[in-house]
Each structure stands twice: as C-alpha cells, then as structure tokens.
Structure 1
Amino acid sequence: MQTGSRNWPAIAAASVTVVLWASAFVSIRSAGESYSPGALALGRLAAGSLVLVVICLIRRVGFPPKAAWPGILGSGLLWFGAYMVALNWGEREVDAGTAAMIVNIGPILIALLSSRLLGEGLPPRLLAGMAVSFAGAVVVGFSMSQGADGHSSVLGVVLCVIAAVTYAGGVVAQKPALRHAGALQVTTFGCLVGTIACLPFAGTLITEAATAPLPATLNMVYLGVFPTALAFTTWAFALARTTAGRMGATTYAVPVIVVGLSWLVLDEIPAVLTLAGGALCLAGVAVSRGRARRPEAVSAAPAADHRS
C-alpha cells in the first residue's frame, strides 16, 4: 500500500520542474533576441551539461549501464536536442499563444504513446483531467493570440508540432532508462547527447556570443543551469516514481505559472480570459493527479449495511 507521504518527494520534484520550466519562457524571450534558435539550444545545453558533469564527478556517479543507453540516446536526441531547437525556432514564426496551444498536445501524445509502448494504461481520471487542462491551454493560447500581432506561418506551426512530438517521444524514451539508471545519470548523459547533436551550431554560437548583450548571455546560462540541469533532473526523479502520462499532465500547470511570472517580471497584466484558462489548467491537473477511490473501500460500506 502506497501512502500519501511516499508520494511527497515525487510531488515536490515535479513542482520544482514545473516552476523552473515556466521561468524558462521568460528567459527565452530575452535570450532569443540575441541568439538564433540553434545557438541558444547549444548554449543552454552546454551550460547544463557542464553543471551536471561537475555534480556527477563530485558525487562519483559513473556511466549508466548498457541497458539504459537506448532510452538515454532517444531522450537526448529527441527531447534535449530536437525539441529545444524546434521550439526556439517555432516561437519566432508564430505568436506565443499559437505556440502554447500546439505544444500542449505533447502531454496528450505522452499519454497515448506510454499506453501503447509502455503498457501504462489510460485511467479515466487521467483522460478527464487532460481534457480539462487542454481546454484551459487552448483558452490561454487564444487569449494570448488576441493580443498579438497575428504573426504566424505554416513553418512555425509545423515546427511547434515537431516540438510537441519530440517532447512526447523523448519522455516515453526516457521512462525505461530510469529502470536501469538513476535520475542524475539519465539527465546528465541525455543532456550530453543533446549537446553533441547541437554541435553544428557551435560556430553560430561563438559569433553571436561575441556581440550579444550580457543579460541575454546570462539568461542563456540560467536556462542551462536551472530549467535544464536542475529541472530535468527533478523531472527524471519524479518520472521514475509515477507514470509518464501523469507526469505529462502535470506540465499543464506551466502556462499558469508563465502568466504569473509575466505579470510579476514583465508587467504583462493577464486578461480575464487568460485567468479563466489558467484555472481550467489547474483544475485538470488536480483531476489527473487524483486517485480513484479504492474498490474495497467502496464495497465495504454495503457489506456493513447488509449485516445491520
């Protein structure tokens, strides 16, 4: 029997991930003005890899076992590599609201893929919660699009779809790796794989870093240290302790935090429709993370009534 206290470490880790990933959107906006998509992805991954390798050396964490490498390679190429480049590029081609709506098909794809490939199943509460959260994400995205310049393109939509697909594929690939290696190992070597995959952008990164303002470079380093090195590690820790579908549903809280951070940091006052969509996102997360009543608890009451 799994008690609620046992779930708290995973819940805390997932919460850290969600907050840091939400903060990434604010930093990407700043760094993206001076760095191209590929260069920004490489700089972020290089900073994250450096921090993770240092931690592994201090803690004397060795190489992952051979059985973990297929998942590490898959998540490194899809999630750490392709996803970050596609998302950075896509957000330049479409407005933030459109990008948010498209990328938020990712958790749905995670649930479907994990059910098909990992045999996790699709509990009714998870499906209901994801439906509510996705509706909230659409409302948030629509309200953000209304305030934008209407800047969008077919290329941008395609790139955001690629980002959603690679995100889902990376998560599903990572889950089996966590059965054979620790969260720090899987994150570190996945990040290194993504860094190597983005090395073709090294020349561009060096050129842009020479002229980029200091705040943009600091934001890129922040992206590597916190939303990548720390947040991906806490994500892997939580993912090892729950299903991929439920972890994916948790990320629907990200748009809500993004709205709050934009309000506090960028003085962007959210519209009423945006707040309503955020409330739906949180309600859906609460439903998807909840547990159904145990059958024995439900059947016990009629039995007692029958005896009386």
Structure 2
Amino acid sequence: MNASPSRLAAGAATVTVVLWASAFVSIRSAGAAYAPGALALGRLLAGALTLGAICLVRREGLPPRSAWRGTAISGVLWFGVYMVVLNWGERQVDAGTAALVVNIGPVLIALLGSRLLGDAMPPRLLAGMAVSFAGAVTVGLSMSGDGGSSVLGVVLCLLAAMAYAAGVVAQKPALGSASPLQVTTWGCLVGALTCLPFAGQLVRDAAHAPVSATLNMLYLGVFPTALAFTTWAYALARTTASRMGATTYAVPALVVLMSWLFLGEVPGLLTLAGGVLCLAGVAVSRSRSRRTAPVTAATTTPEQVPAAES
C-alpha cells in the first residue's frame, strides 16, 4: 500500500529537520578551518553538483519562467546571504546569542506569509510558535557563556534570520509551477554564484584545511543542503510557509541531543527543558482541531492539507 502524499510530506519535513540539526555539528569542524564565505561557497558547490547530477538522471530541465523570480530571490537570500552572514555572525557572538536571534526566523516567516501569501494564522499555530520560541529562548540563555557578544554579531544574526524568512516566502510561489528538485537545484546554483567572490579564499583554505574539515564541508553540501533543501521544498509545496517555519523549531532540541551524543556536550537541566518546550510547541502548531469543516476532494488544495499530516 502506497504512503499517502500527506505522510510523505511529513516524512520529508522530518528528514529536513534532522539533517539541518546535524549541520550544526559539522559546522563546528569545518568552520574552524574555513572562513565564513569560503565555507558557504564550498558547501553550495558540493550541493549544486549533487543536485545537478540528480537532475541529469531525472532529465529535469529549467524551471518554468513563472518560477524564475521566486527561485532566484530564494537563491540569493537563503542559499547565499543567509549561509555567509550566519557563518560570520556565529564567529562574533556566543552560541546562545546566535540561537536567540536566528530563531526569530520562523516568526518572521509567519508574519510575511500572512501578509504576502495570505497564510492563515490559526490559534494553534500561534500558540505552538509561542511555546517553541520560549523554548528556543531557554536553550539560548542556557548556552550563553563567556564567548561574548558584539553589536556586529547580533546584526549579522538578525540579517541571517531576515534573509532566511524572505527566502522561504519567495520560494513558496515558485513551487506552484516548478518541482521541488528544480527550485532547489537552481536556487542552490544561484546561491553559489552569489558566493563566487569567496572563491579565492576557498582555494587557500582548502590547501591548509585538515581532511576532516573538508569532509564535513562536503557533507554539508550533499546532505543538509542538497537533500534537506529538496525535502523542505517538497513539504513546503504541500503546506503553508508559516507551518513549515514552525516545524524548524524542532532543530534546537535536536542540536542539543546530537551535541550530547556526538560531541560529549552534556546539556544542563535548563537546556533540556528548553528543548522539550521546542518540541512541544512544534507538536501544538502541527496538531488539528477536532472540529474541522469537511473538505471535498474536488476543492482540496495543498494548503488545505491538515497540518498534522502535511
């Protein structure tokens, strides 16, 4: 028996969240040997090559012209600007401050989605986002240490959150006429072109970087970029930008767990409590009200798929 489209979308969102959480662990290694722009370019080149090969095998060509604008905007802002300024910002502030600032991204997605895309803002979504944001704040405060913060670092993390939100909202309409693979592939390529000024730095860093750092950079390109951005686009095409943004609040909780398992960083009680709040908020935001109006098959659209199944 084939899985329903809604379950496939939920599975795709889960793959995205897990791989994006794993990216934070890999960035710890690669970021020590590669400059922010070089790391972003290397990651995007690896992702673009992987996606390009898949497109050739599947014989997928250019996206329709109606999808070019959204794909290009998301490529510049989300694949390009976001990755560079986030890598740079995390060098200027401690991990807790970065987590606090960047996690306003889903809130911005909800606001922009409501304003520009007409996304519905049901009470359960708002309540879930509030709970998850409280959890993200808790995790961020518990992680804040003696690393210090700078105005530049906070501004960069804020810029990263804004680029992320704008990129997601721009990508959503493009998925109405192009496939998730097309939108992701060409968005990644546009992002790589945006980061080309860092090519010289990438060559210099690669010449001196340890093998482990380079392997982590390649992992970032193949899995958290090529695979996870494609599964994200697949799920986004079947629900609203606001709900997908709320789903990413599971990432801080998974980062805490992965850091514990793979880096030996034992979380404190406050960090664990914050992680639980993040997951609880995601569960609330994706739950359905028991009283739902019947929707006929003839009028169902991707945006009307129940959140718990999207």
The TM-score normalised by the length of structure 2 is: 0.93
Amino acid at match of 2:125: L
Show the counterpart of 2:52: 53
Aligned positions of 1:111-122 closer than 5 A: 111-122=110-121
Structure 1 residues 83-133: Cα deviation after superposition (integer angstroms, max 9, x where no partner): 000100000000111101100000000000000000112111111000000
How far apart, in 2, do the equivalents of 1:219 and 1:96 lie? 19
Q: Deviations over 1:137-179 (max 9, x none)?
A: 000000000xx22421000000000000000000000000000
Partner Cα separation in structure 1 for residue 143 and residue 280 of structure 2: 20
Identity %: 73
Partner of 1:152: 149
Distance 2:224 2:5 in 1: 25
For structure 2, list consecutive stretches of 5 or more residues without a partner in the other structure: 295-310
Deviation per residue, 1:38-85 (Å, 9 max, x gap): 000000000000000000001100100100001001100000000000
* 2:161 matched residue in structure 1: 164
Q: Name the SS for the 2:168 alignment partner.
A: helix
Q: Distance in 2 between matches of 1:6 and 1:47?
A: 29
- After superposition, what is the alpha-carbon deviation per residue over 1:230-260, rounded to whole angstroms, capped at 9, x for unaligned? 0000000000000000000000000111011
Match of 2:238 in 1: 241
Question: How many aligned residue pairs are there?
Answer: 292
Structure 2 partner of 1:42: 41
- Paired amino acid for 1:75: S
Aligned equivalents of 1:113 and 1:294: distance in 2? 28
Q: Which amino acid aligns with 1:10?
A: A
Q: Which amino acid aligns with 2:111?
A: L
For residue 120 of structure 1, give the secondary structure of its aligned residue in structure 2.
coil
Aligned residue for 2:248?
251
* Aligned match of 2:308: none
Equivalent residue for 2:186, pick from 177, 183, 189:
189
1:13 aligned partner: 12
Partner of 2:224: 227
Shift of 1:295: 4.8
Q: CA deviation at 1:280?
A: 0.5
Q: TM-score, normalised by structure 1?
A: 0.93
Give the Cα–Cα distance (whole angstroms) in 2 for the partners of residues 163 and 296 of structure 1: 38
Q: In the TM superposition, what is the alpha-carbon distance from 1:291 to its structure 2 partner?
A: 1.1
Structure 1 residue runs without a partner (length 5+): 298-308
Q: Distance in 2 between matches of 1:280 and 1:257?
A: 12
CA distance, structure 1, for counterparts of residue 205 and residue 159 of structure 2: 25
Q: How does 1:1-308 map to 2 (within 5 A)?
A: 5-145=4-144, 148-295=145-292
